[in-house]
Every structure is written in C-alpha cells, then in structure tokens.
Structure 1
Amino acid sequence: MNPYRNNQRWKFALLIFAALIAGTSLVYTNYLVKNLSETERTKAEVWAMSTRNIFNMPDINDEFTTFIYAVRDSLSMPAIIADEQDSIIYWKGLDTARTNINIEDELMMEGRTGPVYDPEYFRDQLEIMKEQHPPIIVELYSGESWYIYYKDSLLLTQLRIFPYIQLSLIAVFLIIAYTVFNSIRKSEQNQVWLGMAKEAAHQLGTPISSLMAWVELIKTKFNADNDPLIDEMETDVKRLEIVADRFSKIGSKPVLEPHKLYEVAKNFVDYFKIRISQKIEFEVKGDREVEAMLNVPLFDWVLENILKNAANAIESEGKIELEIIENIAKEQIFIDISDTGKGIPRSKFDAVFQPGFTTRKRGWGLGLSLTKRMVENYHNGHIFIKDSEIGKGTTFRIILKSSLIYEPAKI
C-alpha cells in the first residue's frame, strides 16, 4: 500500500468528519435561533397588546394596571411603536442617552407632552428593525393603527454569530495544531534521515577501503595497470566512495562552487549509460559554458535518481535527453531531462516527490523525495514535472540560479 496515498485518505476522512461537526453545529444553532426568534415575536405581540390597553383603558383598576405594566415591562428586546407616518409613539429598550434634551425643553415650553427622542438615532433604529422583522399591526379602538417594530435581543444576536465564532476558533486551533505537529513530524523524519545517512556512510567506509586495496593488489599482482576491466572496477569503487561521501554530507551545509553544468552532466551520463541497457540512447545538449553553483557529488545524485527513473520508465528501447537552457533575463538555468517512457498521469505530478510514492513493486519511493530535498534545500533551486503524456514520455525540469550567493538550509 502506498503510504502517501493512505495518509491522504486519512486527511480526507478527518476533513469530512470536521465538516460534519461544523454542519451539525450550524443546523442545531439555526434550530435554536428559529425557536427563540418565534418566542421573541410572541413577546413583541404581547407587549404591543399590553401597551395598547394602557393607552386605551386609563380607568382600569389598580391591580389590573399593575399586571399590564408588568407584562409590558417584561419585554427584553428593543422595540418601537410608530404610526402610519413613522412618527414615534413609544419605544422600549433603546439608548435613553440619545434623547434630545433641547427638543424636550422646547416641547415643555410649548406645553406639549409625549415621547421625545433624537430623530436621527431613532430613524436609524427604525430602519434596522424594518429590515429584521415585519411589523406587528395593532388596531386601536379609535380606528387608528399602530405599527410595532422590534429587533433581535442581545441573546439572539449573540446566538446567531456564536457558531461562526466557534468554528473560526476551532479552525484556527486546528491550523495551529496541524502546523505544530507537522513541523514536529518533519523534524523527526529529518532526524531519522540524518541518522540513517550517517550510519550508512560509516558502514560503507571499511569495505570501500578494502576494495580499493584489493584493486591495487590485483593491478600489482597481475600487472594489469591498463586493463579496461580493472579500470571500470576502480571507477565503481571510487563511485562507492562518492556515495558514502554523499551520505556523510546529509545534515550539514554543503560547499557550493561554480561548475560548468554541461561538463558535470556529460561526465555523469558517460558513467551511467554503460551500466544500464544498451538499448537506451543518451544525448546531452545545450550551452557548454553555462555555470551554476553546485556541489558535484550531490548534484550527481540528483541526476542519478532522475535518470534511473527515466530508464525504468522505458520498457524496451528508448531515448533519454538532457538539455541545458540559460534564461539570461531571470539569471536562471533550466535542466530538462526527457525520456520516451510510459509517462506519468497529471494527477500524480506532485505525488511522485512524496516519500514512499512508487509504482515499482520493489521500490522504496525515496529517490525523487531525496532529489527534491537536494535541489531545493541544498542548491536553492526548484524541480517539477514540466510535461508528461501517457505512452510518450516525461520531462523533468530543474531550475537553478546562475549567479547568486547561496545559503542552503540543512536537510
């Protein structure tokens, strides 16, 4: 089973579960809001009727008057009673500090009575109430009509926005938690990579030294200084030494020096092509004078991983082409590595660089993951699949800076 795909499934399942929780919370909160809104509507109607009775029946007995006033004063949300011309008759639960004292003094001087208010403030409040709820119309005994407007209580307003605040806080918490745990997980993975690499370099040291001594002994004993087979054996032993050196460099800051890309790529391709199927043709082309800041052993490792994948993708005969292109305007160098293999589906363009992703039965899925680390973390570059078509082949593109001082991070 592909561990990357399995990890993606778990993330998708957790996302679905979180969406269900959010949806359930919103549905239940909306249910509570609807019920509370209906209750407040009923309270507003009762308040309107009680206020009408107070205005229409001033001669009712004291006990009943006390009851009516108690009912009216029990209303918890802001409300306004207005006539057909939107003139304010009475209000409840609004900001009394907005009463216009100057107007009140003038009315008292004129001998007029009734509610006094700041016109602009109450006009704004009336518009808000009109937008929130339709008016309650009360017919008076005189034939006039009152229009009772009200707006949501503070509790209902808070309840409406509470689930969104709650979900926002949960989302922020999950993002922070995911970032922290992901950082810890990557740190642990990096420590594992570092430990394995250092141990591999250490374990390879002794047998490589022995092999070098045996090769020298064979040369001396059999007088085989110019034997091509012995030369190839010596080349492979030196290659093993380079591999060990690669592992020893993981976790440390590599030294980058200017090198001609064509020369580095051609040297490695010449070494690589005689160690795989002779049915695969290789071609290196491009500007031979282009230079980039490289750590040659690590960059050879990058080329090795990509070329191995390209060779494995070619089932019988085919061609692998490496082209070096300089983008002078952006001070970049493109290294395009194309093959005529079986291709990669577009949906897998990003997945191929994930640890554990492989299409081979015996593959570990680590080659391209390491390649991405070496290009981006060590050489301050970028690598991606430029193009791929099923049955026709794939092109990987590496982008390097041509003239920058690098400060690569540790793997």
Structure 2
Amino acid sequence: MKILSKEVALPLAFYNRDTWLKVAFFAVCVFMAGFSLYFTDGLVNKLEEREKQQIELYAETIRYVMTSDENADINFFFERIKKINENNTIPVIWKDGSGHLNSINIAMPDAIDIEQKQVLLQAKLKEIIAENNKPIEMDMGFQKEYIYYGNSKLLKLLRYYPLSQLLVVLIIGFLGYIFFSYSRRAEQNRVWVGLAKETAHQLGTPLSSLTAWVEILRNEPSINPEIVVELGKDIQRLETITTRFSNIGSTPILKEEDLEELISSFINYLKIRISTKVYIEIKSSLVPGQLANVNKYLFEWVIENICKNAVDAMSGTGDMLIYLHEGKNNQLFIDISDTGKGIIPANMSKIFNPGYSTKKRGWGLGLTLAKRIVENYHEGKLTLKSTEINKGSTFRISLPKPLNKDV
C-alpha cells in the first residue's frame, strides 16, 4: 500500500473536495441573489400599492372638491391637494370629460402654448398607459373623468435595482472563482514540492547503495556483463528521475533538441521495459532535424507518463502510434494514440485533475505532472484530442516552434 506524505496527501484531499466547495459557493451566491430579489420584489410591490393609494386619495379629494356645493368648506381639501402636489414625484395626467389634459409632476418646456402642451401630454399619456397602471375613474355626476399615473422615480429605480444586485453577485462569483483558482494553484505547488521532497528522500539512499553494488558486480567474473550494463542503465534512469524532480522545484533550463531523435531514443529505452505485446510505431512529417525548446529530462517524463497510461489502457496488448507533425501558428504536434479501452465521457474532464486515477494503486499524478510540465515549463498544451470507448484515445502535445531558425 502506498502512503502519501503530508505534503502530498493534504493538497490531494483539497482537490477531492474542491468541487463541493465550488458547488457550495455557487449555492450561497444563488441563495443571496434569490433572497435579495425576493425582498426587493416585495418592497417594490408595497411601494407600488402605496403610490396607488396615494393617487386614489388624490382623485377622491379632487372629486369631492369638484362636486361639493358652494356652501361647503373645501379649504382643507385644497390644502390636501396642494400638499400632495408638493410632496409627490408620481407623474399624473388628469383627463376631463371633454378630453382636455392636465398634468402634475411632468416637466414641460417654457413658453409653449396650450395646443403644444396638449400634444406633449398626449405623448406622455401613451408612455404612462404603457406602464400598465389602471387609471382611476372619478364620477363627477354629470360626466366621468380619469386620472392616469405613472411610476415614481424611486419605484423605477427599485425596479432596476435587482439588475445591480445580480451584477454584484456576478462580481462576487467572479472573485470567488479567482480565489478558488488561486487556491488551486497554491495547492498544486504544494503537491509538486511535496512530491519532489518525498521522491528525493526515497531515492537517495537506495540509489547510492545500488551504485556501489553495480561496481562490485562488475568485478565478479561469474556475473553476465550484459546484466551489469542493464543494471547500470536503470541506475542512470533513477538518476534521471532524481534530476526531473529537482527541475520541478526550480525553473528548468530549456535547450534546442532534435524532437524526433529525442522521442525515438526514449521510446527505444521504453520498449524493453514494457509489455512485448505492445507495438510502438513512430511517424513524422516534420522536416529532418526539427528542433524544439525542451528540457530533455522533463519532456521524456511527459512521454513516459502518456505512454505508460496507454499501455495500461490496452492491458499490455495493442498498438501505439506516435505521430509528429506541424500544425498552424508555428506549432509542433505530437499525437500519441493507443488502441485501448478509451475514456468514458464522465471522466474526460477529470483525467488531468490531481488525485484522479482509475488504477487501484495509482496516485493520480502522472497526467497532472505531464500537463504542468508541458504548459508551465514549455509554454505548450497537453490535451485529450480524441477518445472512443473500446477503440482507444489520442493525446496531443503541442509545442511552440522555435523562431528564426533554419532547420
């Protein structure tokens, strides 16, 4: 059983619950927006009802004044009308029985005659009717008159207020997304550093011991020299792995390498260390000697991770094709295809996530490390180009083509 160090285990635990944190954050934002909209809608409805009652009171006061006999004391009602006019921002149009229009709280240009004012009020009346406020009928006894009213400036602002609330929620959501992304990158760095420390610790002592044992075996005449040579290669391989992890902890040095030669050399090494039932073919349409800026040790690690995943996907039996070609925008493509079981749609978005693995003993870091190496250190891209159940998958590595080089 593999036991992860604290530096690696804690970040992986964070990633396993990262989706739930995002869902919870999204749910909180939706709740805040919903509650705010519900509260604002209730406030708007109450204000709308209050304005309606105010206009009804205004209409009733006017009706009383207009229908009262000459001996009635209507000074109080005139004062009420005056106060309503002064303290009200609701646009009102009063249409009498003859169709003549009077207005309250509607700005009119100076120095216009009665006919021009009526034309402007007719246009304003259409706008008020469009606001769907039912006109208030005043029965004057001998004729019926109507008061049309629109929404006050405050009510209009409150109607648009939910849009500003949604904008605030979107901003909060965006900031939350940035926070999660930042946390994710921070936890990624802990994964890489922790993994590098753990690997260096695990490899240091046995590597020194193996080197000493190989030197002893070289002097043993009874030992097949070819075996000693292969052991020496494996020790060199372990030293390469140690170099890889040391490069992860610092900025790696990129050099121009012959891309096809680099991959071919590594595949020749890999072939004798995987199942003999896996046939690996390399094809290239690149110009001979095409260079790419890579860190040899790290880039070989990327190829190794993808190829070993392909071998596992084929259960040790199948064909693998590595196709090197040039794409658009000065990109170099490396397509690695297998004839394995493919990736189900539900897992396609998870394959590069730290901690995700379909293997019982897997750590789920191989493709994550490969993607980080390609994208963070080589300014390229690692993507799942295509996959089909029981037919295989193709991963694509894209690298920027070196500029101003004649190759």
| TM bracket (short chain) | 0.7 to 0.9
Residue of structure 2 equivalent to 1:26: 37
Q: Does residue 93 of structure 1 match 2:105?
A: yes
1:58-90 CA-to-partner distances (Å, cap 9, x unmatched) read 73544x43135315633632212134776432x
1:29-71 CA-to-partner distances (Å, cap 9, x unmatched) read 3233234323322321221221233344473544x43135315
Report the Cα distance in structure 1 between the residues aligned to 2:245 and 2:123, rounded to whole angstroms.
73
**What is the DSSP-based 3-state SS (H/G/I as helix, E as strand, rest coil) of the residue aligned with 1:282?**
strand
Letter of the aligned partner of 1:346 in structure 2?
P
Matches within 5 A, 1:130-169: 130-132=129-131, 133-143=133-143, 145-169=144-168
**What is the DSSP-based 3-state SS (H/G/I as helix, E as strand, rest coil) of the residue aligned with 2:160?**
helix
Q: Is the 8 A contact 1:4 1:357 kept in 2?
A: no
Residue of structure 2 equivalent to 1:110: none
TM-score using structure 1 length: 0.83
Report the Cα distance in structure 2 between the residues aligned to 1:331 and 1:86, rounded to whole angstroms.
76
Matches within 5 A, 1:186-265: 186-198=185-197, 200-201=199-200, 204-222=203-221, 227-265=225-263
**What is the DSSP-based 3-state SS (H/G/I as helix, E as strand, rest coil) of the residue aligned with 1:363?**
coil
Sequence identity percentage:
38
Report the Cα distance in structure 2 between the residues aligned to 1:404 and 1:29, rounded to whole angstroms.
59
Letter of the aligned partner of 1:284 in structure 2?
I
Letter of the aligned partner of 1:93 in structure 2?
N
1:167-220 CA-to-partner distances (Å, cap 9, x unmatched) read 321331232133135314422431442244145336534542442233233213
1:275-333 CA-to-partner distances (Å, cap 9, x unmatched) read 12212111112135332211110100001110111111112521111111123x53211
Letter of the aligned partner of 2:76 in structure 1?
T
Report the Cα distance in structure 2 between the residues aligned to 1:72 and 1:141, rounded to whole angstroms.
24
Distance apart, 1:357 and its partner CA: 1.1
Matches within 5 A, 1:371-386: 371-386=370-385
Q: Does residue 41 of structure 1 match 2:39?
A: no
Report the Cα distance in structure 2 between the residues aligned to 1:86 and 1:187, rounded to whole angstroms.
73
1:334-372 CA-to-partner distances (Å, cap 9, x unmatched) read 111111111101332221011111111111111101111
- Structure 2 residue corresponding to 1:73, chosen from 67, 83, 98: 83
**What is the DSSP-based 3-state SS (H/G/I as helix, E as strand, rest coil) of the residue aligned with 1:336?**
strand
**What is the DSSP-based 3-state SS (H/G/I as helix, E as strand, rest coil) of the residue aligned with 1:351?**
coil
Report the Cα distance in structure 2 between the residues aligned to 1:172 and 1:241, rounded to whole angstroms.
49
Report the Cα distance in structure 1 between the residues aligned to 2:175 and 2:98, rounded to whole angstroms.
55
Q: Is the 8 A contact 1:99 1:117 kept in 2?
A: no
- Of 333-342 and 314-323, more deviation after overlay is shown by 314-323
Report the Cα distance in structure 1 between the residues aligned to 2:147 and 2:92, rounded to whole angstroms.
7
**What is the DSSP-based 3-state SS (H/G/I as helix, E as strand, rest coil) of the residue aligned with 1:46?**
helix
Q: Does residue 15 of structure 1 match 2:22?
A: no
TM-score using structure 2 length: 0.84
Q: Which runs of 5+ in 1 are unaligned?
A: 108-115, 406-411
Distance apart, 1:24 and its partner CA: 3.8
Residue of structure 2 equivalent to 1:267: 265
Distance apart, 1:3 and its partner CA: 7.0
Q: Is the 8 A contact 1:2 1:357 kept in 2?
A: no
Q: Is the 8 A contact 2:101 2:118 kept in 1?
A: no
Q: Is the 8 A contact 2:381 2:399 kept in 1?
A: yes
Any runs of at least 4 consecutive aligned residues in structure 1 with deviations exceeding 6 A, and if so which? none
**What is the DSSP-based 3-state SS (H/G/I as helix, E as strand, rest coil) of the residue aligned with 1:333?**
strand
Report the Cα distance in structure 1 between the residues aligned to 2:266 and 2:297, rounded to whole angstroms.
10
Aligned in 2, Cα 1:50/1:168: closer, same or farther, shift over 3 Å? same
Residue of structure 1 equivalent to 2:7: none
Residue of structure 2 equivalent to 1:172: 171
Residue of structure 2 equivalent to 1:289: 289
Distance apart, 1:99 and its partner CA: 4.5
Q: Which runs of 5+ in 2 are unaligned?
A: 1-11
**What is the DSSP-based 3-state SS (H/G/I as helix, E as strand, rest coil) of the residue aligned with 2:273?**
coil
Q: Is the 8 A contact 1:54 1:65 kept in 2?
A: no
Distance apart, 1:238 and its partner CA: 0.4
Q: Is the 8 A contact 1:372 1:382 kept in 2?
A: yes
Residue of structure 1 equivalent to 2:400: 401
Q: Is the 8 A contact 1:198 1:250 kept in 2?
A: no
1:117-168 CA-to-partner distances (Å, cap 9, x unmatched) read 866764554333121123223243443x433111112332233233332232
Residue of structure 2 equivalent to 1:387: 386
Query: Aligned-pair RMSD on alpha carbons?
Result: 3.0
Residue of structure 1 equivalent to 2:312: 312
Report the Cα distance in structure 2 between the residues aligned to 1:66 and 1:311, rounded to whole angstroms.
96
**What is the DSSP-based 3-state SS (H/G/I as helix, E as strand, rest coil) of the residue aligned with 2:250?**
coil
Aligned in 2, Cα 1:199/1:78: closer, same or farther, shift over 3 Å? same
**What is the DSSP-based 3-state SS (H/G/I as helix, E as strand, rest coil) of the residue aligned with 1:168?**
helix
How many pairs does the alignment contain?
Answer: 387
Letter of the aligned partner of 2:250 in structure 1?
S
**What is the DSSP-based 3-state SS (H/G/I as helix, E as strand, rest coil) of the residue aligned with 2:397?**
strand
Report the Cα distance in structure 2 between the residues aligned to 1:71 and 1:179, rounded to whole angstroms.
56
Letter of the aligned partner of 1:189 in structure 2?
Q
